Amino acid sequence: MKHQLLLTLTLASIGCESLIAQQVFEANPSNLTTVLKQVQKQLRKPQKEDIVIQLAGGTYQFTEPLNIDQSFSGRDGHTVTLRAAEGQTPVFSGGRTVTGWQRVNGNLWKAHLDCPVKLRSLLVNGRRAVMAAAHKRSQGAGVLDYFEITGDEPWAFGAGQGVDGIKLVADPELHLFRNPEDVEIVQEKTWTEKILCPREFDKWGDTIIVRFQQPLGAILNSMAWAGKIDYNKLFYVRNAYELLDEPGEFYFDRSAQTLYYYSRGEDMTTAEVIAPSSEGLLRLHGQSNARQLENFRIEGVTFAYDTWNLMSLEGSRGFGGIQSLGLAFKYIPDGNWHPTKYNSCDTPEGCVDVKNARGIQITGCRFEHLGCASAITLMNDVSESCVTGCFFNDIFGNAITIGHPQHYEIGDGEGRFAPGVEGLCHDINITNNYIRNVSIDFRQIEAIMGFFCNTVHIDHNDILGCPYGAIALGWWWANAKIPEPKLSGNNTISFNRVGQSHQLLSDGGIVYMLGPQPGSVVEGNYLFKGPRCIYPDDGSSGWKIHDNVINSVGQLWFHIDSDRDYDIETYHNFVKANNTANSGRGTTITDTQVFRNVDFNDEAKAIMDASGIEDTWKHIIPAEEPALVRIYPDFDIKRW
């Protein structure tokens, strides 16, 4: 380990030359832990210069996330930076390399893997394999039975009956699977998706019986609205050895510690096979509102090969929520989450997870081949921070999440965060990010989404091809029958280039807003090939929407479906087809420029040209579009 003092010559804002001192600690994959301890020791002294932890290229292997707490804060006007050395590519990896492959027969191979949990993703020569799965979906045949919930359980908001099992019509692909607890049963509906985890299978004549892991099975079967499961419709079954019959499929037999892979033609004796194992890679966590992690930066680091083994509650697993990343962690007898003030739902930690922090900068980083629910989560009490110039591709969940659904009330002592720890996320810039192939497994999550937040700027991002919406900001619905929240506002969704959304799910919009957000703006975006392109949903207010270009023929470019929306001004937008719905109060639409059968004019073209990533960061845009990544079959779907 080496560290040195550098003097960097810069120009101050007034034009004078000044010297900025930097103390540089050089790290590599073998000594990072030692270097971080040395930095902690140095930070116990008064800080007289910026500190840089300079990362050499190579793979930094993690079996659990690296924890950076408030003791790493930059102080006295200085910063601490975790930075790639010039010309180097440090990769923070949560994956392990699998070797020792043996042929079973034909293109089916196996290898030993020492892993205590279910394996949900696998990369072979940099390409995703998929969980062994059925060729077609199985027909549901109704609820099997229920069990009693007293309401005294820590995971229940009242007494009722929980669904314990369902019935499926027997078909050639349904078996009494050898490891039922690792099987996943998936159903999508409108704007939601559920991943249900069984505990056992049985067969009664021509019916397959599925009993769920509890209590998450009951919780995920108790949601209202589009969260309701359609028990007589189709389910997709995956992750069973008995379904392993297609090139590119894998299955990990936990009981035998054996990984199987059906080769696409790769030579498995030389192939690079990576099994993600670390749930997340980096935790930037202060302790409380008073003891935050401050002035910490990350520059030029690649984050790859993490995993997330779904929601976990008392030994049960699953995935689901009524909307977006507000996931259901508590049983509600009638499924209505509004009276709980959203304390019934929670949000998982991201690959890079930030809490109780100020002055966090994540710039020029890459996020790829991830199994997390969100690549970056700025979850609680994060301020004066940014995510800028980052590349996101091939991610099970979304790119960036801001805030938490329980922030309806701050400091109430209910839910996940204690008083003195809970805090609104505010003054955050999400800018100049390139986003492709996100939410490929957790498909109900928008590429960038925020809950309750203030002075958040989602600007100059380039997003393409989402299974659901692209950008969502805000929380709370006016039909909730709980008071209107007062925390959000002064947000912007501006100068983004976004298109080809809603590849699977429906409802929502390319840009979607919720709740009161006074002083907020949607401006200068270029939106194309998506439904209800700008959608202020129930209870939205306080927006000015202007100078956007929308190229989406046959769809509503603007949609207000509720008379509970109010105080929204929409003006001087450029569209191909002037299809709108406006049921709001004081929600005006004026000066719309329509170009149905002609090219957009120069003013509109200038907006299109200025949208997306700015010149400073255009080097992150690849020469060719990344290859499409899909882990589900192309079932026939109802196009929105």
Single residue among 192, 227, 242 that ends a domain in this structure: 242
Domain match, 484 and 597 both: yes
Which segments in the chain show pLDDT lower than 50? 1, 5-19, 639-640
Domain match, 338 and 383 both: yes
**Three-state DSSP class for residue 42:** helix
**Does 187 map to a domain?**
yes
Task: Give the type of residue at 194.
Answer: K
The residue among 536, 40, 500, 531 whose CA lies nearest residue 296 is 40
How many angstroms separate the most distant Cα atoms in the chain? 85
Domain match, 345 and 444 both: yes
- Cα–Cα–Cα angle for 30, 34, 35, rounded to 5 degrees: 95
Backbone angles phi, psi at 68, to 5 degrees: -115, 115
The residue among 237, 243, 230 whose CA lies nearest residue 140 is 230
- Cα–Cα–Cα angle for 423, 521, 566, rounded to 5 degrees: 90
Residue 180 token pair:
């039922």
Domain match, 522 and 536 both: yes
The residue among 126, 97, 122, 98 whose CA lies nearest residue 110 is 98
**Does 5 map to a domain?**
no
**Does 86 map to a domain?**
no
Asked if omega into 536 is within 30° of 0 (cis), the reply is no
Domain match, 150 and 120 both: no
Domain match, 433 and 568 both: yes
**Does 219 map to a domain?**
yes
CB 288 within 8 A of CB 420: yes
**Does 1 map to a domain?**
no
Q: What is the CATH number of the domain that holds 322?
A: 2.160.20
Domain match, 231 and 268 both: no
Query: pLDDT of 443-486, one tens digit each?
Result: 999 999 999 999 999 999 999 999 999 999 999 999 999 999 99
Separation of alpha carbons 271 and 421, rounded Å: 47
CB 344 within 8 A of CB 233: no
CA 492 distance to own-chain centroid: 20
**Does 37 map to a domain?**
no
pTM of the model: 0.96
**Does 146 map to a domain?**
yes
CB 398 within 8 A of CB 374: yes
Separation of alpha carbons 11 and 92, rounded Å: 34
CB 470 within 8 A of CB 502: no
CB 469 within 8 A of CB 448: no
Domain match, 313 and 207 both: no
Q: Which residues contact residue 633 at a Cβ distance below 8 angstroms, ignoring those fewer than 6 apart?
A: 133, 135, 136
Domain match, 268 and 293 both: no
Backbone angles phi, psi at 11, to 5 degrees: -105, 125
Q: Which residues contact residue 483 at a Cβ distance below 8 angstroms, ignoring those fewer than 6 apart?
A: none
pLDDT at 637: 55
Domain, as residue range, for 334: 275-620
Domain match, 216 and 264 both: no
DSSP element (H, E) containing 595: none
CB 187 within 8 A of CB 229: yes
CB 274 within 8 A of CB 97: yes
Query: pLDDT of 309-343, one tens digit each?
Result: 999 999 999 999 999 999 999 999 999 999 999 99
CB 547 within 8 A of CB 569: no
pLDDT at 12: 31
Asked if omega into 46 is within 30° of 0 (cis), the reply is no
pLDDT at 204: 96
Structural domain count of the chain: 3
**Does 210 map to a domain?**
yes
Single residue among 222, 242, 262 that ends a domain in this structure: 242
Domain match, 152 and 101 both: no
Domain match, 165 and 262 both: no
> How much helix, strand and coil, in percent to the nearest 5, is found in the chain?
10, 45, 50
